[in-house]
Amino acid sequence: MINLGRLHDFKDVFGFFAQQLTYPEKLDFHPSVIEKALGSSHPAYESVKTYWNAMHEYSMEQIEEMYVQTFDFQKKSTLYMTFYKFEDSKERGQMLARLKETYQLFGLEIASSELSDYLPLMCEFLYAADWQGHEKEAAESLKLMIAVMEDGTYHLLQALEKANSPYFYLIQGLRSTFKACIIQEAEAHEHD
């Protein structure tokens, strides 16, 4: 189960992850960006801080090159979350359609050229969507979205670790954020 209140509390950090996972721009690395997104008590703080410090060792040109080499040219480190499990199978198409329905449920239209399992888009959705007051409808849809993100980022994390990429720490932080939003079995029974 997803703790929707906690997920809502972390909206700003999902915006940060979306920003850091899209093609880099100089303003993405301004000190205020990380300061606004998460404090030292956030479960992703240590990982994100490691990522942030590592990225500041590179020039902007090197960061752009690293981004393209990592996410655009390596199948094993794609930002398309259902690709790891389904590649280009029929099941992937069905999962993409279900994810698109989730966006539409909350009034978000995605460009027809964009696939609904693109990790920055999914993070942007968690940042922008307003599910408060619609918890029943949101619970199942967000559970599916987080499950897809969690599964995809597991494989992405492995590839980034092998490549010794600073993005490893960013994805590690994203996964820590998911984990903090999942109600553990014992906790779930307390709510029953």
Residue 187 backbone class (left: φ over 0; alpha: ψ -120 to 50; beta: rest): alpha
Name the pLDDT band for 192 (thresholds 50, 70, 90). very low
Tell me the pTM: 0.88
Of residues 4, 21, 11, 24, the one with CA closest to residue 125: 11
- CA-to-CA distance for 192 and 105, rounded, in angstroms? 27
Structure tokens that stand for 55 in this block: 């990225």
Q: In this predicted model, what pLDDT tens digit does every residue of 22-71 receive, in sequence order? A: 999 988 888 888 888 888 899 999 999 999 999 999 999 999 999 999 99
Structure tokens that stand for 187 in this block: 């906790």
Structure tokens that stand for 18 in this block: 């979306």
Q: DSSP string of 43-65?
A: TTHHHHHHHHHHHTTS-HHHHHH
- The answer to whether the beta carbons of residues 191 and 16 sit under 8 Å apart is no
- Look-up of token digits 């969690």: 150
Q: In this predicted model, what pLDDT tens digit does every residue of 112-160 receive, in sequence order? A: 778 888 999 999 999 988 877 666 777 778 888 888 899 999 999 999 9
pLDDT of residue 184: 65
- CA-to-CA distance for 65 and 46, rounded, in angstroms? 25
Angle at 175 between CA 52 and CA 12, to 5 degrees: 65
Residue with the larger pLDDT of the pair 8 and 122: 122
**Domain count along the chain:** 1
Q: Which residue range is the domain that position 109 belongs to?
A: 4-191
Query: What is the CB neighbour count within 10 angstroms for residue 118?
Result: 21
